[in-house]
Amino acid sequence: MRTQVGIIGAGPAGLLLSHLLHLEGVDSVVLESRSREYVERRVRAGVCEQPTVELLREVGLADRLDREGLPHHGFSLRFDREDHRIALTDLTGGSITVYGQQEIVKDLIAARLAAGGDIRFGVTGAAVHDVETDRPRIAFDGGELECDVVAGCDGFHGTSRGTVPAGVLKTFDHVYPFAWLGLLAKAEPSHEELIYTNHERGFALHSMRSPEVTRLYLQVDPGERIEDWSDNRIWDELHHRLATDDGFELREGPVIEKSITPMRGFVAEPMRHGRLFLAGDAAHIVPPTGAKGMNLAVADVLVLSRALSALLHKGRTDLVESYSDTCLRRVWRAEHFSNHMTTMLHRASDVDDYQHRLQLSQLRYTATSTAAATSLAENYVGLPF
């Protein structure tokens, strides 16, 4: 097989890159190891920044998002058993939209297939070769794809990043001393906006995926097993951590899914080696507290699509040469913001009362200072692409 851009991974990064390249008149083939059913059903992020929503509208991918997505103009910081609203729109003029990552994936797959795009599911054994030449190739079980450029959009555990020689790639890794237990429940959300809670027993988050489905999270130790957390135990802990003095009532419902996810920050530099370009989770991971993961992937592939169009249509190399530096500026800003949100809201087991008082001081300052609240809101809504 032959194409201009070989894309490994059919998540938001790979699929959106393929769509953006199509709009630029650049051919691509997407190779995905999982089945279509799997990638359309896996539950991931649910918060779209303002720039992400605007881009999806601009490229014709927001019809269902605009019908079914849930625009939010603020969120609550909950501490001292009381809500303190961060008014996103009032402070910044922007907002976020709750719309599941799997729904964006469904929209992208439908759009690519309707346009004659080539997405190959169930492709195993993918390995990248010859990226230091102008004819890289992707070998896989049963075939090979020759291309001008390879885009590694295959996530943190994919094979693309391992193609870059150890002497070239520098990695920065921070593992947080806690994890998130996530619960998806068929229950009407208990609040119209997200609630980020700092509690002496650990962080909790109230979110949603639709008017009928609630997404909830609890901070737990990384060594916890999901088998040790019965539904009743999870609900009891959520009730305890989310309680307020004004009588907040948490609605319960049948549990659809539950899992435990470790938290880490990770960045690989550079995001390019020869004709291989890394994007999304293949290049960086952020803790989910700041809701930046999927949005960073969108920002990466927007920069990459423009760079590859200039390279393949006009022979320009300036944008591909600056791709890594351009993306990493945004990545490190997101890493810092996500770390700030995480350390402000979570209580590690080794944090003493002194440190907890510092957390509460930061929360109180953020909730009462227009300048501090605006900075938080600006980063949360998303900096312009």
Residue with tokens 């969108």: 298
**270 preceded by cis ω (within 30°)?**
yes
Closest CA to 301 of 331, 279, 277: 279
Pairing of β 96-98 and β 70-72? antiparallel
Pairing of β 213-220 and β 204-210? antiparallel
Residue ranges with strand state E in the chain? 5-8, 28-31, 47-48, 70-72, 75-79, 82-86, 96-98, 118-120, 127-129, 137-140, 143-146, 149-152, 170-185, 195-197, 204-210, 213-220, 255-269, 272-273, 276-278, 284-285
How far is it, in rounded angstroms, from Cα 234 to Cα 217? 9
Count of alpha carbons within 13 angstroms of residue 219, beta-carbon side: 25
How far is it, in rounded angstroms, from Cα 383 to Cα 192? 24
- Active-site residues, by number, are 72, 196, 288, 292, 380
The answer to whether 195 touches 83, Cβ cutoff 8 Å, is yes
Pairing of β 195-197 and β 28-31? unpaired
* Pure H helices in 59-137: 63-68, 88-92, 101-114
The answer to whether 53 touches 47, Cβ cutoff 8 Å, is no
Closest CA to 55 of 19, 90, 26: 19
At 125, phi and psi to the nearest 5?
Answer: 70, 25
Q: What is the residue type of 162? A: G
Residue 247 DSSP one-character state: -
The answer to whether 362 touches 77, Cβ cutoff 8 Å, is no
